[in-house]
Structure 1
Amino acid sequence: MCGEDAFTGKSFEHRREWIRSRLEFLASVLGIDCLTYTVLSNHLHIVLRSRPDIVKTWSDEEVARRWLRLFPKRKNQDGTPAEPSKAEIDMIVNQPDVLAERRKRLSDVSWWMRCVSENIARRSNREDDCTGHFWEGRFKCQLLLDEASLLACSAYVDLNPVRAAIAETPEGSEFTGAKDRIDDLSCRGDRTRSSTHDWERSRCRNKSGWMSPIEIDERRDAVGPDPEPSGRRASRKGFLSISMLDYLQLLDWTGREIRAGKAGAIPAHLAPILSRIGLDPPAWCDLVKRFGRVYHRAAGTVEHLAEEATRRGNKWMCAPGNPLAIS
């Protein structure tokens, strides 16, 4: 898909940038936060957070305008969406049922994936001069029920190249959210935890500014939707109660332990992170390696999985070997 063709020797690595650019575009249009991502040669992982609360704050005209950026009636000479006309906007606004459906779709994860897959499939088929299905199957989606599963899944996604022996470190893992954040951070002098929190919420980041900040500080951050003024992403709301520096250092330590095949002593300042989710270092490293095999339709602690099963009308949810303790 995005690697080297074994028969012709032709490289399709440039398609990984196609996918990354498409994700960045969608983050600026949809009411969905991209928390992190990884694009490999034959598949991709994305951690998304639906934000219907953000979409509710948009006017009818804004909903129509954003929809027309996704599915433009006209395009510029360079192929980019043309600015929608008033008549095109009014055609959506003046149809309440259509408008309501468009508003709903703008925070629907399935529509995010559709907008990725269709765009990349068309471009790739055009490049290959062929037609037909480009993707092997439909995307798989897991619901993340708590911060423990969110932290583990984010690490699983960011460390995918390390686990696959494609890269040795997070900073060497191309086309990952972690790599983008590390690249931006390397250009910054002040790397204290407090200053990094404010910087993550600012609009000055280059490569990673379209993704959500790592840290959410309930004492300092705005209550409610907290929309992004620059328009590069839906909001400035973080998703973990740890700093970006601690997250990246946890990734670095975890990646080293996974490569070594065993979990040694964790740095003292990172140990409380694992303590909060009830895991010791070996259990944490094992979870990051096996996340995709442990969880299927939903991920979380035993307690939260039981609640989700009840909500769905089931007796239980499959999570073989779930190491997350009851919160």
Structure 2
Amino acid sequence: MPRPRRTQISLEDTPYYHCCSRVVRRAYLCGDDAYSGKNYDHRRGWVESLLLKLTSVFAIDVAAFAIMSNHLHVVLHVDIEAANGWSDREVLEQWHQIFKGDELTHRFVKGHLLPPADTAILQHRIATYRSRLCDISWFMRCLNEPIARRANQEDNCSGRFWEGRFKSQALLDEAALITCMAYVDLNPIRAKMGKTLEQSEHTSIQLRIQGALRGEQPKRLLPFRADEQHNQPKGVAFSLSDYLQLMDETGRLIRDDKRGAISSGSQDLLIKMNIAPDNWMTLITQFGHLFHGPVGTLEELTSYCEHLEKRRRHFANCCRYLKTS
């Protein structure tokens, strides 16, 4: 039975969450549908464009994404400090970028004086909107609903386009985050949708490679902050160059027709993150089968369950996959 979203989100333990949405009724996000004979590649552009636009509205960053033929993966970072740092006016300005608002909120944004009764109502709305702008459920809703309406209009039909709920799992430590990001970034290689990372269309890894060639990081993606040339106030505590090297070496191993190996430098990085190099390929190719809930060490999973008042540590057996010994 599906668990309520509030029982899966604990910002006290981690701001990182892996979300996945799948389509229904033979629906396609992209590629050739053998049943209908239609090609839906253009829909991947819809999703990527809207996904990256939402990062400028919500206090939520995208760490990784991959838009596949009938589902999408996204790794999100909830920036609660950014949401709390917005002024009341900034909260409403953010909200108005995707929702119409009402007369009261627009009057406040324009600087009009409000009577005390209206001020009390407005403060309640601002608090509600501030909370929603750092809520992954609202983020995924604002991503999935417009795509569903647009796809239904194109298909000249009605009803569900996505499954009823998107799946989410907490990433409780750095090892879980990097492993999940790599799993998402390498999805097209495993699915043989792209021969190389550079050719993996509509993925975060392609954007990162393109940015690295220009000596910069994509503005709409959560940056890697371990690089000396990028003094970022927030980001993944890892070197972008090391991550790209690890992805390149792993991608070569996944492909049957391309030789490759995990270098000693990448192996040292995996060990530093408490990931056994011998288990790396298993983690990357079977992440979705190995982990069906929160990902992290047993200690972090215990803390996560305590904060959410869970009586049992579900998925505790999965923790062993991220240990070096």
Flag whether TM exceeds 0.5 (same fold).
yes
Q: Which of 39, 43, 55 is residue 11 of structure 1 equivalent to?
A: 39
Residue 257 (str. 1) matches residue 257 (str. 2): no
Contact 1:294 1:319 in 2 (8 A): no
2:219 is aligned, of 196, 209, 213, to 209
Residue 28 in 1 paired to residue 26 in 2? no
Task: Specify the code of the residue in structure 2 equivalent to 1:34.
Answer: V
Q: Which residue of 1 aligns with 2:322?
A: 324
Q: Say which is worse superposed, 264-273 or 143-152, in terms of deviation.
A: 264-273
Unmatched tracts of structure 2, length 5 or more: 1-27
Distance in 2 between the 1:261 and 1:153 partners?
25
Q: Secondary structure at the match of 2:313?
A: coil
Which of 245, 270, 276 is the equivalent residue of 1:280? Answer: 276
| Aligned 1:158-173 pairs, distance under 5 A | 158-173=185-200
CA deviation digits over 1:159-186, x for unaligned, max 9?
0111112222211211110011112223
Letter in 2 for 1:122: R
In 2, distance between residues paired with 1:282 and 1:239?
Answer: 24
Name the stretch that deviates more: 258-267 or 131-140.
258-267
Q: Is the 8 A contact 1:263 1:282 kept in 2?
A: no
Offset of 1:24 from its aligned partner?
A: 1.0
Alpha-carbon deviation of 1:297?
A: 2.3
CA drift at 1:124:
0.9
Code of the residue aligned with 1:238 in structure 2: it is: G
- Identical residues among aligned pairs (%): 40
2:50–2:143 Cα contact (<8 Å) kept: yes
2:75 matched residue in structure 1: 47
Residue 141, structure 1, aligned to residue 168, structure 2: yes
Q: Give the 3 Å change call, closer, same or farther, for CA 118–271 of structure 1 in structure 2.
A: same
CA contact (8 A) 1:31 1:51 kept: yes
Structure 1 counterpart SS, 2:251: helix
Q: Deviations over 1:28-67 (max 9, x none)?
A: 1110011110001100000001111101111111101111
Paired letter, 2:131:
K
User: Does the CA-based 8 Å contact 2:44-2:202 persist in structure 1?
Assistant: yes
Backbone CA RMSD of aligned residues: 2.8
Which amino acid in structure 2 is aligned with residue 307 of structure 1?
S
Distance 1:62 1:99 in 2: 10
Alignment correspondent of 1:292: 288
> How many pairs does the alignment contain?
287
For residues 42-97 of structure 1, what are the alpha-carbon distances to aligned partners after superposition, in whole Å with 9 as ceiling and x for unaligned?
000000011111011111111011111111369xxxxxxxxx95467679975111
Tell me, in whole angstroms, the C-alpha distance in 2 between the residues paired with 1:68 and 1:46.
24
Q: What is the correspondence of 1:203-242 to structure 2 with a 5 Å cutoff?
A: 208-216=218-226, 221=231, 226=233, 237-241=234-238
Other structure's SS at 2:74 match: strand
- Judged with a 3 Å threshold, the aligned counterparts in structure 2 of structure 1 residues 294 and 262 are, in CA distance, closer, same or farther, namely farther
Shift of 1:289: 1.2
Distance of 1:147 and 1:211 partners within structure 2: 17
Q: CA deviation at 1:7?
A: 3.0
Distance 2:182 2:70 in 1: 19
The 8 Å contact of residues 148 and 301 in structure 1, kept in 2 or not, is answered as: no
Residues 1:245 and 2:245 are matched in the alignment = no
Partners of 2:242 and 2:266 within 8 A in 1: yes
Query: Please, which runs of 5 or more residues in structure 1 have no aligned partner?
Result: 75-83, 189-195, 201-207, 227-236
CA, structure 1 residues 253+100, in 2 after alignment: closer, same or farther (shift >3 Å)? same
2:271 and 2:277 in contact (8 A); partners too: no
Q: Secondary structure at the match of 2:168?
A: coil
Structure 1, 166-175 or 112-121: larger mean CA deviation = 166-175
TM-score w.r.t. structure 2 length? 0.80
